[in-house]
Amino acid sequence: MTPRGAGPGRPARGAGVLVVRGGTAVLPDRLLPDAVVECRDGRITRVGRGGRVPRGARVVDAGGGFVAPGFVDLHVHGGGGADFMDATPEAVRAAIAAHTRHGTTTIFPTTTTGSPERIRAMLAACRAVRAAARPADGARIGGVHVYGPYFAAEKVGCHAVAGRRDPRPAEYAAWFRDDLVRVATCAAELPGAAAFYRAAARRGCLVTCGHSNASWEEMARAFAAGVRHVDHFWCAMSSVASLRARFGTPMRAGMEQFVLATPEMSTEVIADGEHLAPDLLAFAARMLGPRRLCLVTDSSRALDMPPGRYRFGAGDDATWFESDGRVGRAGGALASSVAGMDRMLRTMHAASDVGLAAVVRMASLTPAERAGIDGETGSLAVGKRADVVVLSPRLAVRGVIVAGVPWEGVDPSPTAG
Ligand SMILES: [Zn+2]
Ligand SMILES: [Zn+2]
């Protein structure tokens, strides 16, 4: 990055100012061509067209591409060889760095099934990294997503069944002692689920049902207890067919119908092109719209790693899966994605006809709203943290800015003078 117009001696008026220009800004509801995004002291101070660049400001040239808000990932297990369940600050930072390269600026490290000790250690590692956040780390931790261990046994998917259990107040009361946990998952049919949901809702969490074979009635009770979201739509969730196997006939509605029919409910898709075909992605975008649908990576540690065998989770609690470089597989089943948010964006954009502003919203403002951090980040708006991703015309990541600081892991200004 070359500071332009800043000579030696007195600091120029533009010192501490970063300007991104030369691209089309992606706003929540429209595109703004020839945009200037001005950041000062880590905050966005202006979003508009044209205008003067303050003398001494650092300039990032978007090179005719797009200037989008940094991505917000609500559901992500690891990357760059590290799983958040490795539960060390080094592993947490390695996974965060890998996702920052793909445009994520706010991340919600996500637990899987595992022993109480392992989950406590994961929370402690994330708490330590969040408290000592440095620009060099890349994406900021928005909070932890407590995901496993409260899964239904018949819907654990690739996660270790030995590490799943029913909700225990003595365990989760400790998770909710401070504000680290912001997203909380539990299968609705488990004994004690309603009490868990109420405890998470009291803490202001996004309360979600996942890895579940819940019926409509169970979802309605979960909704009354605070559930407003369902994890990875169509993956490890109930369907008319799976409920028939549980209850017999007459066939009945489950999570899919409940989400589609309930305007207060949101959900998320793993839009890597491997979990869901383009028709399902387009269906989700059309039926739910950009305010109720999030893109998540649900990525494992195999993101940005060569094809091979990897552990999902850590230590004795882990399961093994195979990455072919496109997706993770365990036996005949899928075992999480191995892609970053930029690929989710490109895949959804190609699959659906809702347009780029809507697709970017699904990866930024909508997850920020659902997690309750949209006052702080999630869109290019004055006063928010200056979290910006510069994309090429084909939506490849060219640069990432976190809290006004260009991240060193990506060259943020390939064409700046
Ligand atoms: Zn899952
Ligand atoms: Zn997951």
Residues with CB under 5 A from ligand 2 (ion): 298
Query: Six-digit token pair at 29?
Result: 């509801």
Question: Separation of 389 CA from ligand 2 center, angstroms?
Answer: 24
Question: Separation of 392 CA from ligand 2 center, angstroms?
Answer: 29
Query: Six-digit token pair at 21?
Result: 């220009």
pLDDT in tens, 125-142: 999 999 999 988 999 999
Cβ atoms of 222 and 208 closer than 8 Å = no
Beta strand pairing status for 66-69 and 58-61?
unpaired
Has residue 417 got a pLDDT over 80? no
Question: Separation of 253 CA from ligand 2 center, angstroms?
Answer: 24
Question: Separation of 229 CA from ligand 1 center, angstroms?
Answer: 14
Output the CA torsion sign for 165, 169, 170, 171: positive
Nearest ligand to the CA atom of 235 = 1
Beta strand pairing status for 78-79 and 82-83?
antiparallel
Q: Which of 87, 97, 108, 92 is nearest to 318 (CA)?
A: 87
Query: Six-digit token pair at 73?
Result: 């990932």
Nearest ligand to the CA atom of 85 = 2
Question: Separation of 207 CA from ligand 1 center, angstroms?
Answer: 15
Question: Separation of 157 CA from ligand 2 center, angstroms?
Answer: 9
User: Which whole number is the average pLDDT over 270-293?
Assistant: 98
Question: Separation of 89 CA from ligand 2 center, angstroms?
Answer: 20
Question: Separation of 14 CA from ligand 1 center, angstroms?
Answer: 47
Cβ atoms of 20 and 371 closer than 8 Å = no
Fold of 17-68+378-406: Urease, subunit C; domain 1 (2.30.40)
Count of CB atoms situated within 10 Å of the CB of 15: 15
Nearest ligand to the CA atom of 209 = 1
pLDDT in tens, 188-247: 999 999 999 999 999 999 999 999 999 999 999 999 999 999 999 999 999 999 999 999
Burial of 122 (0-12, 13-18, 19+ CB in 10 A): buried
Nearest ligand to the CA atom of 111 = 2
Question: Separation of 151 CA from ligand 1 center, angstroms?
Answer: 9
Question: Separation of 190 CA from ligand 1 center, angstroms?
Answer: 16
Q: How far apart are CA 130 and CA 228, in angstroms?
A: 26
Question: Separation of 319 CA from ligand 1 center, angstroms?
Answer: 13
Q: How many CA atoms lie within 13 A of 116 on its CB side?
A: 11
pLDDT in tens, 56-101: 999 999 999 999 999 999 999 999 999 999 999 999 999 999 999 9
Q: Give Cα 42 distance to the centre of its chain.
A: 21
Question: Separation of 409 CA from ligand 1 center, angstroms?
Answer: 28
Question: Separation of 160 CA from ligand 2 center, angstroms?
Answer: 12
Please enumerate in sequence order all residues whose Cβ is within 8 A of that of 11, keeping only pairs 6 or more positions apart, or say none.
56
Nearest ligand to the CA atom of 75 = 2
User: Which whole number is the average pLDDT over 277-300?
Assistant: 98
Question: Separation of 268 CA from ligand 1 center, angstroms?
Answer: 11
Q: Which of 97, 144, 149, 141 is nearest to 118 (CA)?
A: 149
Question: Separation of 336 CA from ligand 2 center, angstroms?
Answer: 6
Does domain 71-371 fall under CATH 3.10.20.440? My reply is no
Question: Separation of 99 CA from ligand 1 center, angstroms?
Answer: 18
* The pLDDT value given to residue 11: 52
Q: Which of 63, 52, 114, 54 is nearest to 87 (CA)?
A: 114
Has residue 414 got a pLDDT over 80? no
Has residue 415 got a pLDDT over 70? no
Q: How far apart are CA 338 and CA 326, in angstroms?
A: 6
Domain ranges for the chain, please list them: 17-68+378-406, 71-371
Q: pTM of the full predicted structure? A: 0.95
Q: How far apart are CA 61 and CA 321, in angstroms?
A: 41
Nearest ligand to the CA atom of 299 = 2
Question: Separation of 344 CA from ligand 2 center, angstroms?
Answer: 15
- What's the mean per-residue pLDDT of the chain? 94
Q: How far apart are CA 403 and CA 388, in angstroms?
A: 8
What is the separation, in whole angstroms, between the first and last Cα of the chain? 8
